[in-house]
Every structure is written in C-alpha cells, then in structure tokens.
Amino acid sequence: MSIPDFQSLMLSLLEASGDGSVRTLTELREILAERFELTPEELQELLPSGKQPVFTNRVAWASVYLQKAGLLDRPKRGHYRITDEGIAVLKEKPQRIDIKYLQKFAQFEEFRKKTKQEKKPKPPIGPETPEEALEHAYQQLRDSLAHELLDQVKSCSPQFFERLVIQLLVKMGYGGSIRDAGMAIGHAGDEGIDGIIKEDRLGLDVIYLQAKKWEGTVGRPEIQKFVGALHGKHARKGVFITTGTFSQGGREYAVGIDSKVVLIDGEQLAELMIDFDLGVANHGTYEVKRIDSDFFAEE
C-alpha cells in the first residue's frame, strides 16, 4: 500500500485517539503505519528536500488540521488526545474526514477566514501537505532551470566548456585554486585527455578529464578510448563529462573496469552547476520555519 495523503490520514488519526488516551505523535504514527500496512521502505521515504520522511510530514499536518477544527487537543508539547467534539464525530461514523468535512466546524472556518484576511494562501484542498506542495513547486522550478542551463552550456564553444568543467570541479573541492587548475588545461587532443586536475589541494593524486560537448549518446567506444588514454598515463582515476547522455553499454563498461571512471551526463552536469552555484544566480529565498521546541521547554 502506498503512503496515504494527509487528508486520508485524518479519520484514522482521530480513531487512533478515540479511547481518550494521551499519546505522542510518534505513538500515533506507529498505530497508523500498522493500520495502513506501510513497509519500512515507505516509512523511510523522504520529501524532495531529503530532510523529513513523507509519512511523518503527512501525519503531522493531519494532526494540525484536526486541532484547528477542535477535534484533537494538545495538552502538552508533543502529546495529543481527542476532544468531546472529536468523540461526537466518531459516533457519527463518517466515511471520510478531510478539509471539506472540517469546514462544518466554526473553529476551522474561523482559522481559514483569518488566513484569508492575512492574505496568506488558504490551506490546500488537494492531497499534498503545504510543505509537499512547496517542495514540488521548487523541484519544478529547479528542473526548468536545469533544462535552460544545459541548453546554454550546449551553445558555448568547446574551449569555454572545458573551462566550465574545471571551474565546476574546483567549486566541488578539487584542484586547489582556479589558477592551479587552469594550468592543467591545454591537453586537448592529447591521446583522449582534455585536462588534468589535482584530486586534493596538496596534489597527492591527479584526476584526468575528458570534456565532450555532445548532442547525442556517448557510447562504449568513446569511453574505452578514454580508459586507454588513462592506462597510457598509468592513471587509475578519470572523469568523463558530456553535455549529452551515456549509453547503457557505456555505463556498464565503466562500472566493470579496474580504473575508477566517473561518468557525468548533461542532466547531472546541470544539477551540479545548480548545487555549486556555477552559472546561476540567486533570484529569491524562502525560509520555512518551525517552532523551536527547546526554546519553550521549561526546566
């Protein structure tokens, strides 16, 4: 069974509190996870940001909305129990509790009205929690940027592309300084080697580079040629970067050889440029904040 959306969790969450006991959100999550027969993999699935499990996020938002409707109460930090109104709802045996259902409660409507007056977005009607909607929107913006960025890189000259690769690797922590790394450029056509960069600031080892502007798919023969060039230099480490893609056969060959060869295609290149702020500028920043529970903890 897939992870239910946060509105589909509301009824089960209220039922799990139906005996009137005070439970922590962790205890409630365990009850719901068993009820929905979620696998360990599903429980570990993270939001796009990688900072919180999807299930944890959805249960938390389900509890927030039930509180806003007056069906759940929080007697102390991190602990929840059902209210008299919540018990009355369970006696009605509703088939589903969602935002549309909660609109019948004055307390919830007051919350939505206040949100509207403050010119904030209304609580979502769709299956996503606010954080999921925000992260999915962010990912769409990032994907669009990566596509535009790769198109821009493809329009540049081969010489600019080679310099771009060196700049990226320096930003990632290789090569020491741009000046040191720049001295490694100039090997174009040298037995399949486009550049050499230090693996660390002290230069204890070096990495050989192949930077290929390519519209199509780089196949196994091109990778074999690069590996042959590494062997000619008695080298065991290389990075092959292209604006195109790698064939499945090429990827399988790179994994199966003794030399360590990392393949970076155009899509991954654009992602790395965004991650390390190369060729992109910050347009706006949105912070998502939560209550600092430690601040309110009383001794």
pLDDT at residue 249 greater than cutoff 80: yes
- Across the range 161-170, mean pLDDT stands at 87
- Across the range 216-232, mean pLDDT stands at 90
Give the pLDDT score at 244: 92
Contact 187, 165 (CB under 8 A): no
The token duo for 116 is: 């509207």
The residue among 292 and 191 whose pLDDT is bigger is 292
pLDDT at residue 170 greater than cutoff 50: yes
Give the pLDDT score at 297: 56
Q: Which domains does the chain have, with CATH numbers?
A: 10-128 (1.10.10), 150-275 (3.40.1350.10)
List phi, psi (to 5°) of 169.
-65, -35
Residues 11-47 have pLDDT tens digits of 999 999 999 999 999 999 999 999 999 999 999 998 8
pLDDT at residue 114 greater than cutoff 70: no
**Secondary structure in 3-state letters for the chain:** CCCCCCCCCHHHHHHHCCCCCCEEHHHHHHHHHHHCCCCHHHHHCECCCCCCEHHHHHHHHHHHHHHHCCCEEEEECCEEEECHHHHHHHHCCCCCCCHHHHCCCHHHHHHHHHHHHCCCCCCCCCCCCHHHHHHHHHHHHHHHHHHHHHHHHHCCCHHHHHHHHHHHHHHCCCCCCHHHHHCCEEEEEECCEEEEEECCCCCCCEEEEEEECCCCEECHHHHHHHHHHHHHCCCCEEEEEECCEECHHHHHHHHHCCCEEEEECHHHHHHHHHHCCCCCCCCCCCCCCCCCHHHHCCC
The token duo for 273 is: 């440029």
The token duo for 169 is: 């690797």
Residues 251-263 have pLDDT tens digits of 999 988 888 999 9
Contact 127, 5 (CB under 8 A): yes
- Across the range 78-94, mean pLDDT stands at 94
pLDDT at residue 188 greater than cutoff 50: no
What average pLDDT does the structure give for the chain? Answer: 84
**Distance (Å, whole) CA 155 – CA 62:** 48
Contact 176, 201 (CB under 8 A): yes
What percent of the chain clears pLDDT 90, i.e. is strictly above it?
A: 43
pLDDT at residue 166 greater than cutoff 50: yes
- Interacting residues of 114 by C-beta distance below 8 A, sequence separation 6+: none
- Beta-bridged to residue 238, according to DSSP, are 208, 261
pTM for the predicted model, two decimal places: 0.63
